Amino acid sequence: MEKKYNKVTVVDEDDNVIGAEKLFDAIDKGMIRRASRIFVFNESGQLLVQKRSDKVLKPLLLDQSAAGHVDEGETYEQAAYRELEEELGLGGRTLTLVESSFRTTNFFNTLYKVTIPDETEINFDIEEVKSVCWYDVDELTVDLEKSPEKFTPEFKEVWTLLKDKSIST
């Protein structure tokens, strides 16, 4: 892995902060980490899905629009805005909260969404993102069922849990 990782926030079973660990140490110890996730929709209702770079964890898998660990000292919201800017170059947007502090296998998560004009250029970071594409939400659900191995486990969990709420929020 070429990417430098910061210390990440680790929590207990109730999402109370218990400290911060180097990312790989937290993973190795099986600690619960905090993550912020963002779904970027266009005005046509499609979801932006990124293909992860080969330089990050879970390389070349399809993933939510933007996401990342909550770094030491950050809030979920601060991490979401940071990740949206770092990964997709979409700074200055206003995020809408979809769901806060919900549990998936290895994380407590908060999910945000943003809707952008169809013609918006996505200036993604090639160190973190290999490519992006727009998915019709029904096609995405079918693709997740037919070819789950193409997607990160976290994206599959979050989409399954919060697809309907993400679309209606």
Domain positions in the chain are 7-168
CATH of domain 7-168: 3.90.79.10
- Per-residue pLDDT tens over the stretch 68-112: 999 999 999 999 999 999 999 999 999 999 999 999 999 999 999
Q: What are phi and psi of 116, to 5 degrees?
A: -125, 155
pTM metric for this prediction: 0.94
Contact between 67 and 154 under an 8 Å Cβ cutoff? The reply is: yes
| Residue 140 Cα to chain centre, angstroms | 16
Q: List Cα–Cα distances, 124 to 43, 82, 96, 127, 147, in angstroms.
A: 19, 13, 21, 9, 25
What does the block give as tokens for 161? 């849990």
Region 5-17: mean pLDDT is 94
